[in-house]
Chains A and B, each alone.
Chain A
Amino acid sequence: MRIVIIGCGRVGSTVARLLSPTHDVTIVDRTSDSFRRLGTSFKGKRLVGPATDMDVLRKAGVEGADAFIAVTDGDNRNIMASQMAKRVFNVPTVLTRVYDPVRASVFQKHGIHVLCTTSMAAGFFRDIIEGNACDTFAEQLQAYLDASVQKA
């Protein structure tokens, strides 16, 4: 699959490294300095530029991409870029990380998969405290962690 990721922070660089062996990955960030997080094993393309710029997205190959992942540190930037990917470039699968739960729930309705890590962590912690944590979810998280660390 052709995948475009915007934001090369911890999440962006990790998912890029997880996907790059088997997929055609392009990662975009405002500064080239962020690409140091990718390490040496990353085989995909790196592109410097503002992720809400139509020309930058086009250059990153969003046109015809199978999936788009928005994980910059700005909620608004992620939401705007995701709407561009979905509405302008018709990318079939658009995934966005949003910190603000209200914004997450509003834009969930726009055909974008919004992952609100704030609600996830808060909900999971509450469930552990109250003894309602689902075992499979905990196992899943451990599996994600193992994969990420292994790739580091």
Chain B
Amino acid sequence: MNIIVVGGGNVGYYLVKDLKAAGHSVILMEKDRQRAARLYEDLGDLVRQGDGCESRTMQDLGVGQCDLVVAATGEDEDNLIVCQMARECFGVKRTIARVNSPANEALFSELGITTTVSSTRIIFNLIEQEIETDHIVPLAALARGNLEVVSVELSDHSKMVGRSVGEITLPADAHIVAILRGDKGMLPSPKAILQAGDVVLTLVKTDRESELHHVFEGH
């Protein structure tokens, strides 16, 4: 693929090295002259000095012919405009924006930049997983993080122990997909009685995960 990466900080630098090693044709744009010169010594002529928001610079790079633009600067405002300009001025179909403030992910999406990566959010989520209290652990994120599969291990104190699956009232948009007991997996028939130690796999919208705590917590 022909890829243009805007922003030669640490993210852009390591990304370009990996993309090049993977056989892609990459250009790295860095606005700051000194930084660009240092990158040039290391990476050679795939480094260009210029502002990725300037349409002339991007045109000279042949942005119209590239398959993907990655905006990886440390400033959300620059990443947004780089992607919007690439799409609207040059018809680039695929853009990826680094989002530094997780709150901006929704905004970018609203403004047509649907593919975003927020390291702040990823680290935050990892920390949240570490400090999960009552054995509710997110296992997998689906649908770009909007849905997740969580596992709930029922403790002796869980108020669901001894009850049937049919009695459980889950938050809206949550479904029990399987119950693991020892090395056996069961589909969640409404009559199945839950035991302490059961692991209940539940599909839930990410923003409602916290509501599961109330369902499964102790008496």
Contact = CB atoms under 8 A, between A and B. Distances in A.
Interface in B11-67: 53-56
A54 B76 contact: no
Contacts, number: 51
> Chain B interface mostly helix, strand, loop or mixed?
helix
A87 B111 contact: yes
A102 B55 contact: yes
Given A53-B101, A76-B75, A103 B107 contact: no
Contacts of B53: 75-76, 100, 103
Nearest to A109: B88
B4 to A, nearest CB: 17
Given A84-B107, A88-B107, A88-B110, A76 B81 contact: yes
A76 B107 CA distance: 15
Interface residues of A, number: 20
A106 interface: yes
A79 B85 CA distance: 12
A83 interface: yes
A76 B101 contact: no
B89 A102 contact: yes
Given A76-B53, A84-B107, A87-B110, A52 B77 contact: yes
10 contacts: A53-B103, A76-B80, A79-B81, A80-B81, A87-B107, A87-B111, A100-B54, A103-B53, A106-B84, A107-B84
